[in-house]
Amino acid sequence: MSSDLRSRVTALAEQYRKAHAPLTPERLAAGIGASLSYGRLPEGRFGAWMPGQNHILIDQDSPPKRQRFTLAHEVMHILIQQDDDLLSELHEAYAGQELEKELEALCNLGAAEMLLPGQAVEAAIAQKGQTPRLIPELAELHQVSEEVVIIALAERGPVPSVVLMAGSKPLRVYFSAKHPRLTGWVSRGTGFRRDDPLVVTFETGLPQKTTARLPNHEVLYGLEAYPRNGRVYAVYKVLQN
Ligand SMILES: [Zn+2]
């Protein structure tokens, strides 16, 4: 993904946060003149924007922090849609399914920046390191969903990394994000081998630092895994010589 596109999306989000703070759900939607309601959506979807009516529909059954993240994501769709330069750059760089995927990632990136300022994330990393412990910690401190922190950590971490949270039995990925320079990717629902260090961390409840591969990938990463409240949080850092 182009770093220029990313920095422009981040700047758009930052501008929006400053112009419309505090970003309550109502103010989030009103900032782009959209109306907002909560209802049922098709399986696997948490929000939708209806351009004709300039209306945003959010899944009524999601937890409130997840709803706020989804809303910010839909607002990012609209902000990008209204930015002709950004839009043409995006269409020059990508097409078809790849365009869809990049657009979704950009909206996630912008939504994360709206709700959790990048500077706060960088300050936390400088103080405590690029650790998965920051996921529940920053989510609690800033009252955002853990998805938001995962996106921000992957984006801002000084060492390129894949950041994820997993849970359930058998263990599967709930959400993941990666540094723009990395190709390693794990999608929602991906499972793990029984002897995977992440499964061991989850089952023993003991944090660990080791080296590990992502499911279905060859590359070895430096892994830090942190279990808490029925979930396991992980940062897979690129190994540096
Ligand atoms: Zn989207």
- Distance from the alpha carbon of residue 135 to the mean position of ligand 1, in angstroms: 22
Distance CA 86, CA 225 (A): 37
| Averaged pLDDT in 10-residue chunks for the chain of 241 residues | 83 96 93 94 88 91 93 96 93 92 93 95 97 97 94 95 96 93 86 96 97 92 97 95 67
Using only the alpha carbons of the chain, give its radius of gyration. 18
Domain ranges of the chain: 3-115, 118-238
What number does CATH give the domain 3-115?
1.10.10.2910
Q: How far is the CA of 45 from the centre of ligand 1 (A)?
A: 9
| Rounded Cα–Cα distance for residues 12 and 79 (Å) | 8
Distance 107 CA to ligand 1 centre (A): 6
Query: Are the CB atoms for 60 and 48 separated by under 8 Å?
Result: no
- The rounded Å distance from CA 77 to ligand 1 centre is 7
| The CATH number of domain 118-238 is 3.40.50.720 | no
94 CA to middle of ligand 1, Å?
16
Rounded to the nearest angstrom, the distance between the alpha carbon of 73 and the centre of ligand 1 is 6
Q: What angle do CA 104, 105, 106 make, to 5 degrees?
A: 90
74 CA to centre of ligand 1 in angstroms: 6
- Residue-level pLDDT at 65: 92
Residue 184: its pLDDT value, please?
72
Q: How far is the CA of 102 from the centre of ligand 1 (A)?
A: 10
Ligand 1 centroid distance, CA of 103 (Å): 7
Distance 211 CA to ligand 1 centre (A): 33
Distance 100 CA to ligand 1 centre (A): 8
Q: How far, in Å, from the CA of 129 to the mean position of ligand 1?
A: 31
Per-residue pLDDT, 80: 95
d(CA 51, ligand 1 centre) in Å: 13
Between CA 214 and CA 27 the distance in angstroms is 39
The dihedral formed by the CA atoms of 218, 224, 228 and 231, expressed in degrees to the nearest 10:
-10
User: Omega of the bond prior to 22 within 30 degrees of 0, cis?
Assistant: yes
Distance in Å, CA 58 to ligand 1 centroid: 12
The residues pairing with 36 across neighbouring beta strands, listed in sequence order, are 56
